[in-house]
A and B are shown apart, each in its own frame.
Chain A
Amino acid sequence: MNKTYQARFYNGILSKAFTVDVTFGERELHISFVDNNFVSQQIHWQKGQIKEIQYSSSIISLKYGEIFPFQQLDITDQEFIEEYKNHFHVSAYNRIAHTRNRKMVFSVFVIFISLILLAYFFVLPYAADLFARQFPKEMEIEMGEKLYQNVLADEEIDSAKTANINLFFKQMKVKGDYPVKITVVEKNIENAFALPGGGIVVYDKILEGMNSKDELAALLAHEYSHVQLKHATRNIFRSLSGYLFVSMIFGDISGVSAVVIQNAEQFRSLKYGRELEHEADENGLHILQENHIDVSGMALLFKNLKKGDKIHISEYFSTHPDIDSRIEFVKTYQKEHSYQVFSNDSMKIYYERLK
């Protein structure tokens, strides 16, 4: 004889509750009660037509029938809830979500978060970089051209200096497959930057501060490295993929977390930016060495930039690596690589014209 459990029954016609006895059968649930006339009544629910409408550690609600309104049974008996699992299929969702034991949920949560972090910090950057490197050169050049026009739309271009700096770069005899186009812009900013596809913008303030042609060669070698190593494109792919990933994972969370995550993403992209700068420094030094130009120009360039920098920003908040460590890096490189420096008079001439 199977055990009997007390439950509450609602007939779907009135809200009145009936106390009933429930027993598990082979293919059905038996519901029995004694009516007001002391007559025993029996109802049988076939298993196939029973639907779970509520499942938790404290209550199970079942409904029965094909046509609305249905019959409903509420059972709060702990033993029934335990026994129910042996007779009915309980979905994995209900088994995990609606138990008092939170260990399962907690472990799933921790594993999932670890997988996300793993994907975010290792898989995603690798994949983004892979895609960026596959990005066709022609499209990069075309994209760069559009950006170039946009950037220079409202700028004062020094056409004489622009002509000379391009001739200077030609004299550096850098081997590469991007069409390099350098533009000198009149502006009180000590900076230069590279666009995807070969465009380089140099502000004339940085030229004023220079004391030798080697510094200019170092600057152009550094900027050209950005172009050759597809830094702009890689950076775009990296931040786009990061943004997509974050919004996909955390699309539905509250404002505070969104702000925290966005800022974390910012920090990460700053760090990536510094890595790219370092890569450009290193590659720039290779270019200088290959073309027999003195690499100490790069150290001098950094020293000049340091002088112009009035506020010191901690590396973590900066787009560029710390300038002292950059100078140190050039010195180490110089010690480790010895080569013959050729003097190049044409470069000197074009450099003089820029001053």
Chain B
Amino acid sequence: MEILNSQNSEDVSPIQSGTFKKLRFTGSGSDYFAVLIINWILTVITFGIYYPWARARTLSFIFGNTELDGSRFVFHGTGKQMFVGFIKAVVVFILIYGVYFWGKLSNSIMLSGIGLFILLVGLMILVPIAVHGGLRYRLAKTSWRNIHFGYRGDRMELLKIFIPGIIISYLTAGIYGSWLKSDLRKYIIGNIRFGNIKFNYNGNGSDLFWINFKGLILGILSLGIYLFWYMKNWINYYISNVDVEQNGNRYPIKLNVGIGEYFVFQLVNFLLIILTLGLATAWVKVRTLNFFFDRIELPSEINLDILEQTETDYSDATGDDLIGMMDLGIV
């Protein structure tokens, strides 16, 4: 391998420099539909056992068709890893719910109270644990030009942000939620690595709170029409506050979705789903990826030829499966 060091290699990328700041999705709706249909058939005829493999193959398709600077991302996770993770996740759920039902069936108020307490506390702790594990797995198994992503967050640190945050959010009727989300994003994104590239999140709780507050008030006053503006503002804010750090220099990622185009985009998605009774889901997903990839501007200052492999491998998919089971969206 030493003979192939960068010092004596030639750059042969056929893609011209200057265009590398855009992401591109190369798959078509019908490609994705084919993948989903086959996965669906295999999942049905195996009574659901195929599901982890279907998940891995879907991710592999999506990542494998995402192109940056002429090279595609690769998802290395396997159905087997996800299956093992799935079994572990099921055991965790059976334990937590088992205690709860055992308490319920005992006919004792105290025992069922303890069962409920363990269920609620268990789920509250499980969310950050799942997110941590899921991020580690998902990112470690994602690569581009053979350079792997990674998540360097600490599980305890995430718990320390999440647990008090969720309690305060509950006590403040959700108001603190904006600050909690902001803190979580800052911590999570700040710990994502792409080789020796680092990411940072610069948003703050009060900005997010005003976006949410405005969304709620104007959403009600406009009978929901404002929700398009709200969603647009929210996405723009989230993405535009991320920056990419290379060799100590920070370069912002830009996203500026306009209200008109966003409205048309959502309306067409909605009509596609309704008119095809959901069969167009694959096409809607591809449209969505294209819509955002076309508009996200990655900083052109980043040198994509000098990324170094810095992250380690991680193959435990339990967190990823827990996220799937609890229906949590990552990041």
Contacts and interface: CB of A to CB of B under 8 A. Distances in A.
A54 interface: yes
Interface string A187-214: 0000000000000000000000000000
Given A13-B309, A56-B64, A253-B278, A108 B9 contact: no
Interface stretch (B145-153, B201-209, B231-239): B145-153
Interface in A237-263: 248-249, 251-258, 260
Contacts of B247: none
Contacts of A252: 40, 43
B35 interface: yes
Interface in B184-242: 195
B278 A16 contact: no
A179 B304 CA distance: 82
B305 interface: yes
Contact of A97 (B3, B34, B307): B34
A307 to B, nearest CB: 42
Residue with the highest number of chain B CB atoms closer than 10 Å, among A11, A56, A251? A11
A61 B65 CA distance: 12
A251 B308 CA distance: 43
Contact of B305 (A16, A58, A102, A254): A16
Interface string A5-48: 00011111111111100000000000000011100010000000
A127 interface: no
Contacts of B12: 8, 17-19
A116 B216 CA distance: 45
Contacts of A56: 31, 64-65
Given A19-B10, A102-B30, A102-B34, A11 B1 contact: yes
Interface in A63-111: 63, 68-72, 74, 93, 96-98, 102, 105, 108-109
Given A9-B4, A14-B308, A97 B38 contact: yes
Contact of A35 (B3, B44, B277, B306): B3
Contacts of A19: 10, 12
A14 B309 contact: yes
Interface in B286-331: 304-309, 312-313
Contacts of B145: 10, 15-17, 72
Contacts of B5: 11, 13-14
Nearest to B281: A254
Given A54-B74, A61-B72, A93-B38, A71 B1 contact: yes
A329 B323 CA distance: 59
A246 B26 CA distance: 34
A4 to B, nearest CB: 15
Contact of A11 (B30, B35, B143, B146): B146
A182 B120 CA distance: 48
B305 A15 contact: yes
Contacts of A18: 4, 9-10, 12
Given A97-B38, A252-B43, A256-B274, A14 B6 contact: yes
Interface string B167-192: 00000000000000000000000000
A63 B75 CA distance: 12
B143 to A, nearest CB: 8
A53 interface: yes
Nearest to A17: B13
A63 B12 CA distance: 20
B24 to A, nearest CB: 13
B4 A72 contact: no
B90 interface: no
B277 A14 contact: no
Given A14-B308, A97-B35, A248 B44 contact: yes
Interface residues of A, number: 50
B307 to A, nearest CB: 4
Contacts of B57: 93, 97
B38 A10 contact: no
A9 B277 CA distance: 44
Contacts of B307: 14-15
A103 B68 CA distance: 31
Interface string B1-39: 101111011111100000000000010001100110110
B37 A257 contact: no
A11 B146 CA distance: 7
A112 interface: yes
From B8, B41, B146, residue with most partner A Cβ within 10 Å: B146
A59 interface: yes
A327 to B, nearest CB: 39
Given A10-B145, A54-B64, A248-B47, A16 B6 contact: yes
B136 interface: no
Contacts of B74: 53-54, 61, 72
Interface of A: 8-19, 35-37, 41, 53-54, 56, 58-59, 61, 63, 68-72, 74, 93, 96-98, 102, 105, 108-109, 112, 116, 248-249, 251-258, 260
Interface of B: 1, 3-6, 8-13, 26, 30-31, 34-35, 37-38, 40-41, 43-44, 47-48, 57, 60, 64-65, 71-72, 74, 76, 143-148, 195, 273-274, 277-279, 281, 304-309, 312-313
Given A17-B11, A256-B277, 9 more contacts: A15-B145, A15-B147, A41-B3, A72-B74, A93-B38, A97-B35, A108-B41, A249-B44, A260-B278
22 contacts: A8-B71, A10-B145, A13-B308, A14-B5, A14-B308, A15-B144, A17-B12, A18-B9, A18-B12, A19-B10, A41-B4, A54-B74, A56-B64, A68-B313, A71-B1, A72-B143, A74-B71, A97-B34, A97-B38, A109-B41, A253-B281, A260-B278
* A-B complex: 6 closest residue pairs judged by Cβ atoms: A257-B278, A10-B146, A15-B307, A19-B12, A72-B146, A68-B313
